[in-house]
Amino acid sequence: MQHAHPHCGCNCLPSPGLRAKRMASIQALRCQRIPGSYFHHGCGITFICPSGCGRESYLRRRVCGCASCCHGPSWEFSGTDDAPTLSPSIFNGRMPCGWHGWLRDGHWLPWQPC
């Protein structure tokens, strides 16, 4: 089964991708360090890189109503807490792995050229 590529719309992405795992607390996220796991809190999500590199990162929600989140890159959040979708794509250029892809309907989909 193929998924539509979030950037170009073609059907070149394998399904379903790595399932994102919602963690009950930031402590559980940091202790277990499961690739693709995340904790949704306040103005964004903290996640463990889906590449398997083990690095932690944080993504700010685009519109959350708190003044401290209004500067710098941010992502639109939709879906549910258990199956989130973020846009635009996520590029972890600061991480050694350089993972680039999307979180769509609770699945991490790596960028792939068409």
- Is the model's pLDDT at 103 over the cut of 70? yes
Q: What is the pLDDT of residues 33-70, one digit of tens each?
A: 999 999 998 788 999 999 999 999 999 888 655 555 55
**Any idea how long the chain is?**
114
pTM for this structure? Answer: 0.80
- Is the model's pLDDT at 88 over the cut of 50? yes
| Res 62: pLDDT | 80
Q: How many CA atoms lie within 13 A of 20 on its CB side?
A: 27
- Is the separation of the CB atoms in 36 and 50 below 8 Å? yes
The per-residue pLDDT of the chain, averaged, comes to 82
Dihedrals φ, ψ of 68, to 5°? -70, -15
Q: How many CA atoms lie within 13 A of 83 on its CB side?
A: 4
